[in-house]
Structure 1
Amino acid sequence: MKPKGDEINEFDDRIDTKTELTLNETLKLLLRSVKLLASVRTLFFCKVGLAIISLLPALMVPWLLKIVVDQVVLQSPFDTETVPFPPFMIPLVSSLEGMSPSGIMMTIVIFSFFMMALFGLRAPAAEQAEIIGAPQGFDAATQSEQALSAGGSATNGLWGLIELLLTIRMTQRLANDLRSTLMGRLSRLEMTILDDQRIGDSIYRVMYDAPMLPEICYRLTLRPVLIVIGAILSVYVLKFSYGEVAPELIWASAAIMPAILLITAPLSRITRRVNQKSRAAGSATTNSVEESIDNIKAVQSLGGSEDDTRVFDEKSSESFKRHRHTVLIDGIVKILTAFCTTGALAYAFILITDEVVAGVLSPGDYAVLFGVFVGLNSSAQVVGLYWIELQKNVAAVRRVFFFIDHTSELDREARPMAPLTNKVSLEDVSFSYPDGRQALHNVNLELQVGQTIAIVGPTGAGKTTLAYMLPAYIRPTAGKIQFDEQDIAKFHVDDIRDDVTFVFQEHMLLSISIKENLLLANASATDEKIF
């Protein structure tokens, strides 16, 4: 019988084979990601304060344009206005009353220069990750590198610079903390798991999957807060000033966000799936590179370079094909949101111009209404992509949390062990690998401290397996190993390894002196201890 889709080993995954996420599992991952903000809560609350204040320029700009059109160009007095100014504009309007048109214009120019220096007078929807700020690659790996230092603000100027730098610091701290946690767990996996886990896949998870976590945190906290606050303020301003003049516009502006979210939400599952496959294909390519470099001498000596190149080419092509699938989904979502927002803008344009032609609204009101509605449309487009973009990051974070949660040698309950002074004994020790292969059967052996012992046997006899048991890289499936009558199954691996020095068959030395290589293990070691 054919296995289920999420159990098929499409790429190089041997351990992480169940990749499909249900809605409930997705929500749990999102909640778990947000909890990590506790480690940067001071930076986070500073970011929230800066971001909320940065929404104000976007609300003020349309009203400044209205004053320029009505009071400067058309020279209409403030007391003839039928549409009331919102409360946050009252101090400025009060200071402008009684001035000549040229005086009003000069004051607006000076005020605008001040706002430009402080906020930049930029007014799009708030962005957390500035993906258009610098060139990025077209695959998950290079995009993740930029995500590691992502930051943004709804403004420019001095305020935006401060917010940008603070966000970058917070992003890097979140991502690097997660990277360190994941690397610590991967390095302490059981030896039988390490044998099956590809090195390239581990590199991909640490380097490219982990940096996607901060964006999840922002999308679930900052992004919705800013969008909702901005939308509520915009709708409130419209209702306050134009609620009786153009009620249809108020209803249209309030309905556009939930409408777009309902249209794009059904695509969330397929988005998770294609992004998971894209990342799995990318990690398979990384595996191919790592294995080729690690075995380059054997490959070249046996004339296997062409086959090695062909394998890499196939995996690289598959990776880019999977990435194109993600681009296709993005394109569909953007087309749907653009169709909705364009229709809403067309409706608003017709409604507003009709009211201006009929004399109900002034030309300055057109600048305010259309400007605010364009801002709402930008926020609506962000909302349309909101849940879909989350699915991309969930696919990456799932791969990270999988190995953070995976059983490791650190998860065993253990207590401190007394130092080894006498002997190591193996009593009826047997071991079978997860695939059923039995490497050892009822081994009884006693090793005295200071004794030199050679274990000899053909390939597959269990020599390496036996050696792995002494530092507890693997544990017996039957029998026990004792250090001075202490069963090591009950003790912590760090205490066990303090008594065992293990030199692997394939060792690695850095291009420095032997002494400097030894000092990597104990930087405070004296020459007497080394020699």
Structure 2
Amino acid sequence: MAEAARASRPSLREHEKQLDRAASVLDLGTDIGFREVLRIFARVISTFRLFKARIATKLGFITVELAFRLLVAPWPGKVVVDHVILGMPIGDASGFPAFLAPAVLLLDGMGPVEMMLWVFLLGVFMVTVFGFTTSRGAGRSPSGAPTGASAGSSGGATALTPQGLGTLAQGHDIATQTENQANLGSGLMAGILGFIDFRVHLRLSQSMNHFLRTRVAGKLRSLPMTTLDDLRIGDSVYRVLYDSTSANMLLHGIALGLYSGLLGVVITLYIMFTYFGAATEVIVLGMLAFPIVFLFVLPFARMARRRG
């Protein structure tokens, strides 16, 4: 009896088809394939070329923030600990990266008070221009956005992110959530550059969303009246209003998020190569971390999406 019950149990693929039929009686094409996903992505990404200047500016701010935070921001703390508190001689600045060694050598021969004064002035510059200090790296979410005390102490710019890490409240209804997505703006910096970065991203999201809504709504208006009368025009209008913001989320997740992640990996590997060049196994493990995680997660992506 138990074997007969197991034999009559539908397979996972059949069960997913039953979920599709139960989810929508009118539209059975709810489960799109991988090729169709790529085709939709290509159509949306093709609109990015209309905003090349703003996207390039946003990518430039991401580059400046990551490069300064990972390559420069941690080292003033080492100067304070090693050469101000412990009083170790600077020597040839062998403990610092090659691109920072000339700046550190300028402190050679100075007393602890003079060194601390220069580090303090550098901290003032970092807070004014970049909006973060040498401890800004602590307290970050998985997406890289500052959280908790770190965000508060560094004066992090107001950020609206898909993970809900922003400071603007929203309700559970789709209208207010879409309104925030249409005005999506984020920035990992504060200060002068952070304000400009946030404004550029905000205007990019608004202009892209306005362009898509205007373009799709114009095509709907040009349809014959018989078509508008026969089809579910209410659903089409709803999608124009509330689904157009998906392009912003795609831009944030693919173009900006992917670039930020890859650049962070490249900078991290550069730092690892600089300090662990003799231990090649450390670099190899660091390079294999992403493909290993990707290979283990990819087979279960569809299952997690259907049951999420």
- Compute the TM-score of the two structures, normalised by the length of structure 1: 0.46
2:38 counterpart letter in structure 1: L
Mapped to 2, the partners of 1:179 and 1:227 lie a distance apart of 30
Partners of 1:76 and 1:247 in 2: how far apart? Answer: 30
Q: CA deviation at 1:263?
A: 3.2
The residue number in structure 1 matching 2:107 is 96
- Runs of 5+ consecutive residues of structure 2 not aligned to the other structure: 1-13, 146-158
Identify the residue that residue 169 of structure 1 maps to in structure 2.
Answer: 203
Q: Which of 260, 265, 271 is the aligned partner of 2:293? A: 260
- Pairs within 5 Å for 1:75-154: 75-79=87-91, 84-121=95-132, 122-123=136-137, 129-130=160-161, 131-133=164-166, 134-138=168-172, 140-154=174-188
Shift of 1:214: 1.9
| Cα offset, 1:32, TM superposition | 1.6
Secondary structure of the residue aligned to 2:91 is helix
AA in 2 matched with 1:23: F
1:328-368 CA distances to partner (integer Å, 9 max, x unpaired)? x3xxxxxxxxxxxxxxxxxxxxxxxxxxxxxxxxxxxxxxx
Whether 1:230 aligns to 2:264 is yes
Q: Could you tell me which amino acid in structure 1 is paired with residue 219 of structure 2?
A: R
2:49 aligned partner, one-letter code: A
- Cα 1:249/1:71, change in 2 over 3 Å: farther
What is the CA-CA distance between 1:195 and the residue it aligns to?
A: 3.7
Residue in structure 1 matched with residue 57 of structure 2 by the alignment: 46
What is the match of residue 33 of structure 2?
A: 22
| Residue equivalent to 1:10 | 23
Aligned match of 2:75? 63
Q: Return closer, same or farther for 1:70/1:252 CA change in 2, 3 Å cut-off.
A: farther
Offset of residue 220 of structure 1: 2.5
Root mean square deviation of aligned Cα? 2.9
- Give the Cα–Cα distance (whole angstroms) in 2 for the partners of residues 30 and 231 of structure 1: 24
CA distance, structure 2, for counterparts of residue 181 and residue 269 of structure 1: 32
Using a 3 Å threshold, how does the CA distance of structure 1 residues 72 and 58 change in structure 2: closer, same or farther?
same
SS across alignment from 1:79: coil
Distance 1:9 1:90 in 2: 65
| 2:84 maps to 1:72 | yes
Corresponding residue of 1:269: 302
In 2, distance between residues paired with 1:190 and 1:4? 34
Deviation (angstroms), 1:221? 2.2
Query: How far is 1:172 from its partner?
Result: 0.9
2:10 corresponding residue in structure 1: none
Distance 2:248 2:127 in 1: 29
Question: What is the correspondence of 1:347-362 to structure 2 with a 5 Å cutoff?
Answer: none
Contact 1:118 1:157 in 2 (8 A): yes
Query: Shift in Å at residue 210 of structure 1?
Result: 0.5
Distance 1:169 1:182 in 2: 20
**SS, match of residue 77 in structure 1:** coil
Structure ID, larger Rg: 1
Q: Compared with structure 1, are the counterparts of its residues 184 and 7 closer, same or farther at alpha carbon in structure 2 (3 Å cutoff)?
A: farther
1:425-455 CA-partner distances (Å, limit 9, x unpaired): xxxxxxxxxxxxxxxxxxxxxxxxxxxxxxx
Taking structure 1 as reference, are residues 45 and 65 closer, same or farther at Cα in structure 2, changes over 3 Å only?
A: same
**Counterpart residue identity of residue 154, structure 1:** L
Per-residue CA deviation, residues 399-434 of structure 1 (Å, 9 max, x unaligned), is: xxxxxxxxxxxxxxxxxxxxxxxxxxxxxxxxxxxx
Alpha-carbon distance in 2 for matches of 1:112, 1:140: 43
TM-fit CA distance, 1:208: 1.4
Contact 2:65/2:189 (8 A) holds in 1: yes
Give the CA deviation at 1:180: 1.3
Give deviations 1:362-405, integer Å, cap 9, x for gaps.
xxxxxxxxxxxxxxxxxxxxxxxxxxxxxxxxxxxxxxxxxxxx
Aligned length: 270
Deviation of 1:75 (Å)? 1.7
* Alpha-carbon contact 1:126-1:153 (below 8 Å) kept: no
The aligned counterpart of 1:214 is: 248
CA–CA distance in structure 2, aligned partners of residues 138 and 265 of structure 1: 30
In structure 2, the CA distance between the partners of 1:9 and 1:190, relative to structure 1 (3 Å rule), is: farther
Distance 1:254 1:109 in 2: 36
Matched position secondary structure for 1:88: coil
Deviation at 1:69, TM superposition (A): 1.8
2:90–2:105 Cα contact (<8 Å) kept? no
Is the CA contact 2:129–2:191 (under 8 Å) kept in the aligned structure 1? yes
User: Displacement of 1:236 after TM fit?
Assistant: 0.7
Q: TM-score, normalised by structure 2?
A: 0.76
Kindly provide the amino acid, as one letter, of the partner of residue 135 in structure 1. Answer: A
Query: Is the 1:151–1:167 contact (alpha carbons within 8 Å) kept by the matching residues of 2?
Result: yes
CA shift for structure 1 position 78: 1.8
Q: Which amino acid counterpart does residue 94 of structure 1 have in structure 2?
A: L
Q: What is the CA–CA distance in structure 2 between the aligned matches of 1:271 and 1:183, rounded to whole Å?
A: 34
Distance 1:72 1:247, change over 3 A: farther
CA-CA distance at 1:226 after TM superposition = 2.1
